Structure 1
């Protein structure tokens, strides 16, 4: 019945339907890739679909296939992108067109390849995943599973508090020692409430440690003596060895699920949450850059997009004119 075809059935119908009235050059090229290059039938069919689109564009622009210029190609790419086609989809189409014009060049039918230096639009870089404030507090406040070793509970809670409360990278966390020394990559000064860490590019920085994290740290230090075996590391396993990043990833994922969060949490998600929540409260991008240890503020600016998402959600939930009955709010993550 009309109107009930799925995207898959449309594609299948296009592949099984008789080919359109192709330009003789297109027919020759398809025969070339089928016979001389011996491409799979499915690949040839996809090439035919891409070239049918090219011919449709040429007819609309009233330009011959052999007269297409780079400016035509750029316009068509922009039209596909504006129509919602993905960067990957456009790249595949351009690959088919590029091969066609390369062949035309070898045949001496075009002077240059109009697709040669053309690239598909890059896919939008996904936003880093961050917890909501409520989710982050729920995870940080989780005391541990019933029956779990109290020292293990204290250690994992301290790890969570430092990752979320200080925005540390996983390598910075595992590099922390109990006391400061010339060999230590990092340590925490309890009196000054500061974490001193060695970040990317061997750059040192100091980060404030909040009250909740300090309490968790003191609890862990008291429990740590049960496991300590002359290891300088702040975070150790029950065998007395320094924790590895992988060990912390596994423990944090398990802890987040036990705490009732719907999404498994990884260490960098807590760093993203730290940055997003500080920016939401302060609006001070430079301060967030310093806290995260970013060399370039453009790296930090991604969190302004996260902040906008937060503000948009608040607006949609609170403003009486934000929505219309029966209509969903516009997506806010493409700004």
Structure 2
């Protein structure tokens, strides 16, 4: 089996059997492309730890940061593990290799006031598109959805939204979770549902559709949110994941219940959710700096 064929076989297994998202599989393909480019004519079975260390150093020298290198190494480690299970290599050359550390980047979140401005109704040049956009963004913020989860929703969720105030979401690794939908999001969804037929083509199941009547694309959601933020004078580079971060940060600030936020976000590990405790501390620090007499007297 050639290296390229082995990569194709492993990625096909990840997609078909482990049900990884197309986006994740695409990232893995790109990471493994870096591996094949670095190995050149060297057989995969001949690679040792020092080869992988050199490849990582080369990528780091080209400007790849710690987090990107960690993901790349994870893809390589998984691929070599797969080769080892099939007897194609004797040992995993990625075992024990750690990527260089990089500064921890906190997710960017909007303030409560900024979020309220973003979700305030305003006159759009197309009322149908405006109703759709408001429903999407209210649902993002109300339920902490990922972008892929939002575009994958079908119209069948409207019944559970109307009657139970919640929806079932198919998240990463095909894990189902139940998320609440707030009153503002329910109102926006009802308004969009009343207008959806003006845009959707016959038989389309997708809840959110584009101007051609089919399921909306992630890129279009991103561009519509960025457009809305600019029109409303909000900070630049507002993106869908920022609404997810804002949801988590605001719920944690109000409740302090990290476990509940983990469940609603669909994080497999509490460590992924703990980053929002840092956001909460930043909020407290700003309040301290603006209110405490000794803080003012710097």
TM-score (normalizing by structure 1): 0.58
Q: For residues 219-262 of structure 1, give each alpha carbon's deviation from its aligned partner in whole angstroms, at most 9, with x where no partner exists.
A: 00011121222200000012211001111011111111111102
Against the structure 1 CA distance between its residues 237 and 124, is the aligned structure 2 distance closer, same or farther, given a 3 Å change threshold?
same
* 8 Å Cα contact 1:254/1:264 also seen in 2: no
Alignment-derived partner of residue 27 in structure 2: none
Question: Is residue 2:107 matched to residue 1:138?
Answer: no
1:201 to 170, 173, 177: 173
**1:16-95 equivalence runs, <5 A:** none
Instruction: Show structure 1 runs of 4+ deviating over 6 A.
Output: 117-121
SS where residue 305 of structure 1 aligns?
A: helix
* 8 Å Cα contact 2:161/2:181 also seen in 1: no
Distance across 1 between alignment mates of 2:247 and 2:236? 17
Distance across 2 between alignment mates of 1:151 and 1:224? 8
**1:1-335 equivalence runs, <5 A:** 122-145=101-124, 148-179=125-156, 188-229=160-201, 230-324=203-297, 327=298
Which is greater in Rg? 1
Deviation at 1:202, TM superposition (A): 0.3
Distance across 2 between alignment mates of 1:286 and 1:196? 19
Distance across 1 between alignment mates of 2:163 and 2:259? 26
TM-score (normalizing by structure 2): 0.65
SS where residue 177 of structure 1 aligns?
A: coil
* Unpaired runs of at least 5, structure 2: 1-64, 67-95
Distance across 2 between alignment mates of 1:251 and 1:211? 23
More RCO (CA 8 Å, sep 6+): 2
Q: For residues 307-329 of structure 1, give each alpha carbon's deviation from its aligned partner in whole angstroms, at most 9, with x where no partner exists.
A: 100111111112222232xx4xx
Against the structure 1 CA distance between its residues 223 and 320, is the aligned structure 2 distance closer, same or farther, given a 3 Å change threshold?
same
* 8 Å Cα contact 1:279/1:304 also seen in 2: yes
